[in-house]
Structure 1
Amino acid sequence: MEVMAKPQYKGKRYRLAKPELLAPAGNLEKLKFAVHYGADAVYIGGQKYGLRSNADNFSFEEMREGVEFANRYGAKVFVATNIYAHNEDIEGIEAYLKKLEEVGIAAIIAADPAIIEVAKRAAPKLEVHLSTQQSTLNWQAVKFWKDEGLPRVVLGRETSLEEIAAIKEHVDIEIEAFIHGAMCSSFSGRCVLSNHFTDRDSNRGGCCQSCRWKYDLFEDGRSEESWVSEESMMEQAPPALSPFKPGLTQIPLFQPEDNPFTMGSKDLCMLEHIPDLIEAGIDSFKIEGRMKSIHYVATVVNVYRQAIDSYMADPEGYVLKPEWVEEINKAANRPLNTGFFYDTPDHEDHIYEPEEKAVPYDFAGLVMEYDDSTGTAIIQQRNHFKPGDEIEFFGPEGTFFKQKVGSLEDESGAPLDAARHPLQLVRMKVEQPLKNFDMMRKRKG
């Protein structure tokens, strides 16, 4: 999979201090990997008021541990409190926000004015960043939120680079924008398909990603000759999706051998356009993916960290490295595009057929120890691997090499024919030095 190049940004250019790299963290382990692999800040979800109710999410104790860990590396932790609250959600918000302040959270990401106002009054040490759920797209709306006391706005994904530059020209405020990850098929997540199909509210954390499902088309018919019973038709569709009514014929328009279609968007990737993002004035580069794997978070953060640092070290001599694009493609699970930054996505930016699959690499192991005198490493197993497998090692301090798995031993020195068990500690020879938190992956298939 390759990133589709778009026309270059031609608007007003700024030269900023290094932008923040903001990474997703679906749980405490992912938070630690995101920070180790180069994130300046991470955003997480608590157990209330967030839009990823199916993520692991954080207890207050886990938040406290995450904040302490991040602070040791000079990183910050933000918490998403970005639901649109109903009346029954209001009770408890004040106590929840005060607790976030107490455990050391740097900022919340909020969309609902009720939550914003409570935070400003009850937890004044918490910064409030306006969520992308507010669909903020123009400088006058941004100015409104600045006048309300907010230091940062997360723009709607529909904002172009030229619009971002205009916002920075008119309003002195921090701008955060998504630069990598999944895109919603609906503008700024204004979707009710999940509500309609499954009674799960997209704007209260329950989105079932209806746009990623596989669909067929049916034609209504009422002739007795082609009548099909509801029972037989129900066998072809899950009950939650079935539109069939007794006595109403549903004639499939596709043949059984045809591929069902989806209506999901391609994923966003702006790796090839780091200079444009920085020079347009974006203060925080946000990566989507609190539900994504550790391998995804580490790989994507590591690549963007290298690209940002390379640009800031030498803006005039900056060159996109092909190996960065190759690394991103190892973590990509959908085709990639540049979203709304250069133009409005069209039919070519959506996925209508089964996707070109998918992540070609598995996270196979985590380096726990390395013995330089023997050239051996202790690897914590994360996916099955065995002698003879082709593997890669990579890490946040520049580790990258390939080799074949040689002989394996368990902790006691007994030989193994494979690393089969989750979190099993395995000793193996490696061809180059490794560091703790380096990762091992292998190609699928």
Structure 2
Amino acid sequence: MMNKKKPELLAPAGDLEKLKIAILYGADAVYIGGEAYGLRAKAKNFDRETMAEGIRFAHEHGAKVYITANIFAHNADFEGMAEYFREVYELGADAVLISDLGVFSVAKEAAPNLEIHVSTQANNTNYQSARMWYRLGAKRVVVARELSLGEIREIREKIPEDMEIEAFVHGAMCISYSGRCLLSNYLSGRDSNKGACAHPCRWKYHLVEETRPGEYMPVEENERGTYIYNSKDLCMIDHIPDLIEAGVVSLKIEGRMKTPFYVGTVIKAYRRAIDDYFEDPALYEKNLSYYMEEVSKASHRDYTTAFYYGKPDGNQQVYTNNSYIRPFDFIGVVTEDSDEAGYAWIEQRNKFSVGEEIEVMPAKGPSFSMTVSEIWDEEGNPVESAPHPQQKLRVKFTEPVHTFDMMRKFISHTE
């Protein structure tokens, strides 16, 4: 039996469906955005009704909900902000994530008993700033993604014992320091520090000479062009013991804009890895290749450990394309438990057909493969394929399935 406390697994949830999937697939907590003040303006986000339902669902399943309010506020943003924090607290949110000192002060005054976590956007790179946030009333800091494990360990040693450290362990990396970017605002008018980033770091760039408009000259790393700011994705699933040893108590997955399939796949893999490690470190070591294989079934770029083991070199960037590696299609989600004959209703997400080999990923337990033998539409007619997005279909399964189990199909291509 290990003496160390098992870390929290913290999942992204861009909408209510993703929140439920994240929790059912193993998250201890989720972070969500309301309709204002968060850094994912293009996510569906949560209104008052869905936020209340999400918090209720999480608490019924023993999980927590953190609300993002981590914009860098301008004067006009403060109108109605105090009321928003009071409402979030009354709905039962477990904490809010904040970057801006002014927003912090409003939250502290409006809802003094609401726990505050300081977002990575606040550039939490040292123990002195962490101490200052603690004195102001923060419970947790989300450390900057530019820190090494050694630096995190030193912060842990020099901050109050009851202050917590949260760190990103998986997902997209930002080219700018802890996401504080002006490039999007300058090139597209969309302010990344208010949740509307256009991701210009992933664009393909050319040069245009002033007297030759319309003549695009490539900026080439090689014949395929270059994506000079395009970083690989972070993945620390095979370094969980090092994160725990450094003092990280919350392992955070990036991806509020990602699909339910991404959330379920990644969360389930990290849940298994954490649980295996605390059951027996030797079991964790034995299964390292399995964990990596599982997280790689979700859409991703090549993986990196970023700054955790030292300053990155050129190998942390992808210079030849801005595509994702997508080995599987998310083809459907089960909407009810299967009956005794093995039939269940599903909601289709991508095309699949009778005769195809698919894999079913349940929220709990191992995945299983099967050949699709029967598909029926809502009118009770047999169909050969399911081409229409979000079509309601009845499928015969070879093993029992449950609500929110997901279906995937191997395709192996980039997007």
TM-score (normalised: structure 1): 0.87
Do structure 1's residue 123 and structure 2's residue 111 form an aligned pair?
A: yes
Larger radius of gyration: 1
Do structure 1's residue 104 and structure 2's residue 92 form an aligned pair?
A: yes
1:309 Cα deviation from its structure 2 partner: 0.9
1:272-325 Cα deviation digits (max 9, x unpaired): 111111122111000000000000000001100111111112235532522221
Do structure 1's residue 395 and structure 2's residue 367 form an aligned pair?
A: no
Do structure 1's residue 213 and structure 2's residue 179 form an aligned pair?
A: no
Do structure 1's residue 76 and structure 2's residue 43 form an aligned pair?
A: no
User: What's the counterpart of residue 178 of structure 1?
Assistant: 168
Do structure 1's residue 431 and structure 2's residue 395 form an aligned pair?
A: no
Residues 385-394 or 313-322, more deviating? 313-322
User: What's the counterpart of residue 195 of structure 1?
Assistant: 185
TM-score (normalised: structure 2): 0.93
User: What's the counterpart of residue 146 of structure 1?
Assistant: 134
1:55-101 Cα deviation digits (max 9, x unpaired): 11111111101101101001111111001111111222111111111
| C-alpha contact 1:15 1:279 (8 A) present in aligned 2 | no
What SS does structure 1 have at the residue aligned with 2:325?
A: coil
1:15-74 Cα deviation digits (max 9, x unpaired): 531111110000111111111111111101111111111111111111101101101001
User: What's the counterpart of residue 257 of structure 2?
Assistant: 291
1:144-167 Cα deviation digits (max 9, x unpaired): 111212110111111111111111
User: What's the counterpart of residue 32 of structure 1?
Assistant: 20
1:50 counterpart letter in structure 2: G
1:442 Cα deviation from its structure 2 partner: 0.8
1:108-131 Cα deviation digits (max 9, x unpaired): 100111111111111122111001
2:89 counterpart letter in structure 1: E
Compared CA separation, residues 254 and 289, structure 1 to 2 (3 A): closer
What SS does structure 2 have at the residue aligned with 1:150?
A: coil
1:355 Cα deviation from its structure 2 partner: 4.5
1:413 Cα deviation from its structure 2 partner: 3.4
Among all aligned residue pairs of Structure 1 and Structure 2, give the percentage whose two residues are the same amino acid: 49
| C-alpha contact 1:332 1:358 (8 A) present in aligned 2 | yes
User: CA–CA distance in 1 between the matches of 2:320 and 2:143?
Assistant: 30
Residues 120-129 or 300-309, more deviating? 120-129
Do structure 1's residue 361 and structure 2's residue 328 form an aligned pair?
A: yes
User: What's the counterpart of residue 247 of structure 1?
Assistant: none
Ranges in structure 1 where 5+ consecutive residues have no aligned partner: 1-13, 222-226, 237-250
User: What's the counterpart of residue 67 of structure 1?
Assistant: 55
1:199 counterpart letter in structure 2: G
Specify which of 314, 317, 321 is matched with residue 280 of structure 2: 314
| C-alpha contact 2:224 2:320 (8 A) present in aligned 1 | no
| C-alpha contact 1:262 1:354 (8 A) present in aligned 2 | no
User: CA–CA distance in 2 between the matches of 1:154 and 1:260?
Assistant: 32
User: What's the counterpart of residue 297 of structure 2?
Assistant: 330
What SS does structure 1 have at the residue aligned with 2:326?
A: coil
| C-alpha contact 1:81 1:108 (8 A) present in aligned 2 | yes
1:260 Cα deviation from its structure 2 partner: 4.6
Compared CA separation, residues 324 and 253, structure 1 to 2 (3 A): closer
RMSD: 2.1
Compared CA separation, residues 58 and 164, structure 1 to 2 (3 A): same
1:407 Cα deviation from its structure 2 partner: 2.5
Residues 161-170 or 298-307, more deviating? 161-170
User: CA–CA distance in 1 between the matches of 2:57 and 2:180?
Assistant: 35
User: CA–CA distance in 2 between the matches of 1:149 and 1:56?
Assistant: 30
User: CA–CA distance in 1 between the matches of 2:79 and 2:125?
Assistant: 31
Ranges in structure 2 where 5+ consecutive residues have no aligned partner: none
1:441 Cα deviation from its structure 2 partner: 0.7
1:423 Cα deviation from its structure 2 partner: 2.8
| C-alpha contact 1:127 1:151 (8 A) present in aligned 2 | yes
Structure 1 segment 237-252 matched on structure 2, within 5 A: none
What SS does structure 2 have at the residue aligned with 1:65?
A: helix
User: CA–CA distance in 1 between the matches of 2:17 and 2:278?
Assistant: 29
| C-alpha contact 1:399 1:438 (8 A) present in aligned 2 | no
Compared CA separation, residues 92 and 255, structure 1 to 2 (3 A): closer
What SS does structure 1 have at the residue aligned with 2:353?
A: coil
Q: Between Structure 1 and Structure 2, how many residues are aligned?
A: 408
| C-alpha contact 2:205 2:219 (8 A) present in aligned 1 | no
1:379 Cα deviation from its structure 2 partner: 2.3
1:264 counterpart letter in structure 2: N
Higher relative contact order (CA 8 A, sep 6+): 1
1:255 Cα deviation from its structure 2 partner: 12
User: CA–CA distance in 2 between the matches of 1:253 and 1:359?
Assistant: 27
User: What's the counterpart of residue 245 of structure 1?
Assistant: none
| C-alpha contact 1:216 1:260 (8 A) present in aligned 2 | no
Specify which of 386, 394, 419 is matched with residue 386 of structure 2: 419
User: CA–CA distance in 2 between the matches of 1:356 and 1:205?
Assistant: 23
User: CA–CA distance in 2 between the matches of 1:165 and 1:426?
Assistant: 51
Do structure 1's residue 159 and structure 2's residue 126 form an aligned pair?
A: no
